[in-house]
Structure 1
Amino acid sequence: MTNRAYVVGVGMTKFEKIQSRDWTYPQMVAEAVSGALGDAGIGYDRVQRAAVGYVFQPSTAGQRALYEVGLTGIPAVNVNNNCATGTSALLLAQEWVRFGAADVTLALGFEQMTREAMAGSGARPAVTTIDRHLAALKAAAGFGTAPLTTQFFGAAAAEHMRAHGTTREQLAAVAVKNHEHSTRNPYAQFQNAYTVEQVLADKPVHDPLTRSQCSPMSDGAAAAVIASERFVSEHGLGGQAVEIAAQALVTDDAESFASGSMIDVVGTPMTRRAGRQVFEAAGVGIEEVDVLEVHDCFSINELLTYEALGLCAPGESGALVESGATTYGGRWVVNPSGGLISKGHPLGATGLAQCAELSWQLRGLAEGRQVPGARIGLAHNLGLGGACAVTLYRGPRE
């Protein structure tokens, strides 16, 4: 028999342009964790285990980061799962609670990014984590000069346009929506609205993607306190306890590479499988979800995620975003935080920033960006090479 696991406190820093703020990663971690503990109304001494996610910092950086919070001697497990790192840490923290290893755990993600790390400076090793992805990209589109991730998703966008008639304006509409959403989010790296014309006229990165359709390099941290049902009951936290109703983490299978489709190579089959597992485990469908935070590392990936999670049929995502169905007043609100495109994307922190945003939304605390009546939220966190995590949240019980 398993226990229920609840998010009882969340905190995050503002996501910042890299090297624009004078801080160390232990300082950003202390800010995020203090916010989460204060939200939960507990001290760090109540936390029994910590899962700490990051991509570019050195081994045991999680322990060093937490020394600024407290020296309590608890186990700290360092997690690295590329862009899905934050939700992978959350998965570990909630499983400790769900399977009875602890009553209170901490999930933490942070990142201080550098251009050198993102460029993968130095000679390419004989084996890389994305060998199969590179082979597929070479066969489908050849290699360009843009950053590799942009080439992957640019090729997927071009394929979607050829196969379904998706337009540049529809791709731009994703960025317009998310940048507008971010104007309401004080934690977002960017807080400026754009028109479709401005997005299309922005600096080209890799055709058909322009700069404002691509997530930036960011610094920041986010954290969540996870607690058991017993702890929630004993400490009167029911009014703010957001249940992790279901969670799935998957990696690539043969389908990702069988067809040579770049849409498959960039993770659509993973999203589809993880979403299916979560909906089956929670006993709900996408039509019951109110608010989503999805991994819009590039505008095309939000469209691919609509299709993989069942918001629309394959090929219909461009028309869906243009219709207004995924913003305020529509059927769903997708990325009320501004998403990765506008909120920012410090790799290790992204999944936990999604957790924070959905917790605030389901508790009615999102202020100027609140989705009215939000009761069920879904987060989608994707990393190439390959990991995809989908999490379904239920709001506090009445």
Structure 2
Amino acid sequence: MMTLSAPLLALLWLVQVVCSAFPEEPGPLSSIPTEVRKYPVFLGRPHRSSLRQEPLHIQRILQVNRTLYIGADDLFRVELDNVVGDEMFYSKKRTWESNKNDISICRMKGKHEGDTLEMVGETVSGMARCPYDPKHANVALFAGNLFTATVTDFLAIDAVIYRSLGDSPALRTIKHDSKWFRYQLNKMVVDTNAGPHGNRTVLFLGSSRGTILKFLVVPNQDNTAPNNNVFLEELEGYNPECGQDTPQARQLLSLTLDSNSHTLLLAFPSCVVRIPVARCQLYSRCMNCISSRDPYCGWTRGSTCSFLRAGTLPFEQDVDHGNTSYLGDCDLLQESYIEEPDGLVSVNLLVLSAVSAFSTGAALSGLMVCWIMTVKHRQRSRGGGSGPGGRRKCEKEQNMLG
């Protein structure tokens, strides 16, 4: 029998203790990897038949009432209430073009090299002092030394606070290892009126890779209690129609909540994607619908998991606990009719029809057998009265009477 040495046992025990002590990130209750392909996307076209403009170079988006303004190389105007199908089209487009007078003025501003100022002094490296891109955040303060807060790489991953240009030696903050983090979250939007009663709070977080994380914010009545927020959903927000799937193309520029239509507007450098705040139709069974704990979704009349708007009654929902133990076999009694093609019969109706046909056939067969047996019995009774035995019985009765 093989035995383990004491050092090996100690090593195994240490590995087990370390693994059990290391915190694990709880996963989402639902993961939606490819549903974004079905949602509307803006590609810079006025209608479907026009050619696609590439690249758009979107800088930012601004929503004013029911109009969305998209600032890129050109300015696009999109009416949010007129979106039909899987693509959003602009209603107006504004292009800036310099006239000949402005161009000539710019040319006259130019000077000869001898008329310009000449730089005197040493050249200082801009590493950790200046960002690589004007869009990247950059703050500087001089107080005996130059203190800068910026990024040190092209992708703006390594954020740093750096001390330089003084008597003290250069000093920087500790570099974080992005491999320890699953997401780099940079956008956030909150819906404080979620649910049919408007009394729930849902937090949407956007990552640098275009992934949307959806959380249910649970009020903490006791400050000493641990955090009870629920990780509801992880959704892929980047639409393949936007173009090449690269880290630069996936950079999430803006995340906006459109409360009127209950959608999220995601701005990428080459497109804008419109995503619903919930995907209730994906929960085809009542237990899955209720256990999702999504305040936007509920099991409604008609046996469907539906988006709950204000005034929707009746509905079944348990956002606080997601408890389905009291429902029994609701999945067997209430099947979903969601997304059934036109002209097809539901599974429930087919099952009920088959059971009814079988019961009716069995009952008719039983009645037919009983009727046949009754007829045969009557025929035998009549045949027995007209035979020799019947004559003897009649003669015996006449002798007894006579």
Superposition TM-score tier, normalisation by shorter sequence: under 0.3
- Greater relative CO, 1 or 2 (CA 8 Å, sep 6+): 1
Higher strand share: 2
TM-score, normalised with respect to structure 2:
0.22
Higher helix share: 1
Larger radius of gyration: 2
